[in-house]
Every structure is written in C-alpha cells, then in structure tokens.
Structure 1
Amino acid sequence: MFSVLLLQLIGRNLFDILLEWPEEMALMTMIWLTFFGAYQCTVENTHLKVSFLEDRLSDKNKPYLELFSKVAMLTLVLLVTFNTYPLISIVGDIGTPVMAVPMWVPYSFIWVSATLMSMEIICQIIDTVKKIATFKTSNEQEVETVGEVR
C-alpha cells in the first residue's frame, strides 16, 4: 500500500502525471490488511478487551467468561460471514470506477477473513471447553484425595 501511494505521490509531484488507479489499489489493500489483520489477532488472541470483569473473577470462573465471550464473538462473526455472501452476489459484477475490478474482489476479503475467524473461534471454544472439563476433573480428584487422607 505504501509503495503504491508513494508511486502516485512521485508521479504527481515530480513528473506531473496523475495516476488514478493507486487510490483504488490502496483502498483494496487497506481492506485486505484490516480484515486479515483481524483474523491474525483472533489467532494470536490479541484483540483489545476490557478485562475489569475478568480481573475480578476467580481462576475457577474465568474459563466460563472466556467461553461466553468466544460464543458472542462467534455469533457476530457468523453474522458477518452469512450476510456478506449475499452482498457479494448483489454487487459482484459492478466494477470499480478506475480499475474496473469487480466488487466481489474487495468484498470477498471480508468474507474470507470472517470465515477464517469463525473456524479459529470454534477451535478456541473447543479448547476452552476442554479447559473447563480439565479444571473440573482436577478439582474432583483433589476432593477425593483430601477425603482419602482423612
């Protein structure tokens, strides 16, 4: 994106050549970077979050809050996934004004990244459920061990 905009800047200011396509290319690149960046944040679990509630919960209850937040995220991302596809069908054949790239190209970036995010969040939900089950199992074993000692 930087290179394309730099090319436009050099062409306009040094050679007095007006290039029209770099703005559209930069816009599509920005959409691509934004949505695939959101997917990468999902994979790394680095999205911004307000943690005041999580900080007040015990270690026993934190996985439940995590599970709730992951299910809420999945719901939102699935809404984006399923609602973007019809939009792609409607505007797909319309071309961009300068480059005449079909609009399904930039809109597909959103759909693909939302689909990838959905799959990643499902994997994270499965891991969280396993964490809850492991925590319950380890607590039950501790209770049995304490009962045997007495």
Structure 2
Amino acid sequence: MGPARRETHLLARVGDWGVRLGLVLLSLAAALVVVQVAARNFFDTGLPWADELARFSCIGLVFLSVPALAGRQSLVAVTLLPDMLPPRAARMLALLGDLATLAFAALLLWSFAEFLPRAGKFLTPAMRVPNWVYYSLALAGSLLLALVALDRTLAAMRGAEPSAPYGDDTGSAPRQP
C-alpha cells in the first residue's frame, strides 16, 4: 500500500473515531437534558452549566461525525439524478459535490481563523471555559472534513473510487486494502 493510501485509511479511521466520540457526546447531551429537567422539576433549580455542556456536546457530535459521512458521500444522499446518468457523468457529479464540500470546509476554516483569535479569549457564561475550547471540536471536525474532501477529490482525479476507504453509504466498515 502506497503512502497516499495509508493516509487515506488513517483519515477513514479518524473519521470513524469521530463518529464514536459523537455517540458518546450524544449520550452525554441526552443525560444532561434529563438531569436538567429533573433539577428544575424536582428541586426547583436550574443548571446553566448543563445546558451549555449539552450544547457543546451537540456541536461536537455534528462536526465530528460529518467527515465520516462525507467520506462515504452520504451527507445528503439524493441519488435520483446520479442514478439516471451514465457512469462517467455520475462520477463527474460526485466530483463536483466533493469540490463543493471542500469549498465549504475551506470557508469554515477561514471563518474560524477570523473568529477565534478575537472571540476565543472570552469565557462561556456558565462553564467559564474559553471560547476556543468550546469551539475546538467544531474546528477539528472542519479540518478533518477539509482533508476528507481533498482526499476524495484527489482520488476521483486519479480515477480511483473515492468512497472505497471510507466504507459505503450504509455505514459498513471501511474496506481494507
């Protein structure tokens, strides 16, 4: 296996770990909502930190899971048009989608570069953590999304199957070389 394929498989594994961490964050968010509702209803007290931590968990869940979905090309899977097209045209349409994803990820990273240096030093209201910590999972997910989109674009330009290392759109495990 060449160095490019090893890096692609590493990206796929990191994306899968992002999904696993996202599931942990989803569980944490659900538990925090239950704790907060119980605190309000049974103890007549609010837990602002729980709301803020649940929001952090949901942000992390989304941004850490998206790169794995992008690798499988199943972010938005409306396949009516690609299914009707000849194979070459369908591949070109997939490449266009990957280029759009790469542009979106680049825009997100540029936005973080503009936003975080100014806002990152301020603390969140309830947990009192710096904003750069609060948005770190979104930044990491955006960076991974850009790498996955770039990898898929380069694979398509080489004539390789871009989704192969990432598994298929049913969520099966990545294919081993």
If the length of structure 2 is used for normalisation, what is the TM-score? 0.68
* Of 77, 99, 104, the match for 2:105: 77
CA-to-partner distance for each residue in 1:77-102, whole Å, 9 max, x for gaps? 11111221220111011111111111
Are 1:63 and 1:131, in contact at CA under 8 Å, matched by a contact in 2?
no
Distance 1:68 1:3 in 2: 40
Partner of 1:17: helix, strand, or coil?
coil
Are 1:92 and 1:102, in contact at CA under 8 Å, matched by a contact in 2?
yes
Q: Which amino acid aligns with 1:11?
A: A
Q: Which residue matches 1:103?
A: 131
1:41 aligns with 2:69: yes
Distance 1:18 1:53 in 2: 50
Identify the range of structure 1 (51-60 vs 77-86) with the bigger mean alpha-carbon deviation.
51-60
Q: Which residue matches 1:142?
A: none
Q: What pairs with 1:1-150 in structure 2 (closer than 5 Å)?
A: 1-131=29-159
CA-to-partner distance for each residue in 1:27-55, whole Å, 9 max, x for gaps? 11111111112222113322113333312
CA RMSD of the aligned region, Å?
Answer: 1.9
Identify the range of structure 1 (92-101 vs 3-12) with the bigger mean alpha-carbon deviation.
3-12
Gapped regions of structure 2 (runs ≥ 5)? 1-28, 161-177
Distance 1:44 1:56 in 2: 20
Distance 1:107 1:19 in 2: 21
Distance 1:93 1:70 in 2: 34
Percent identity between matched residues is 24
User: In the comparison of the two structures, how many residue pairs are matched?
Assistant: 133
Q: Which amino acid aligns with 2:48?
A: E
CA-to-partner distance for each residue in 1:95-143, whole Å, 9 max, x for gaps? 11111111112222222111101111111112212327xxxxxxxxxxx
Identify the range of structure 1 (59-68 vs 43-52) with the bigger mean alpha-carbon deviation.
43-52
Larger Rg: 1
Gapped regions of structure 1 (runs ≥ 5)? 133-150
Distance 1:16 1:62 in 2: 57
Are 1:88 and 1:108, in contact at CA under 8 Å, matched by a contact in 2?
no
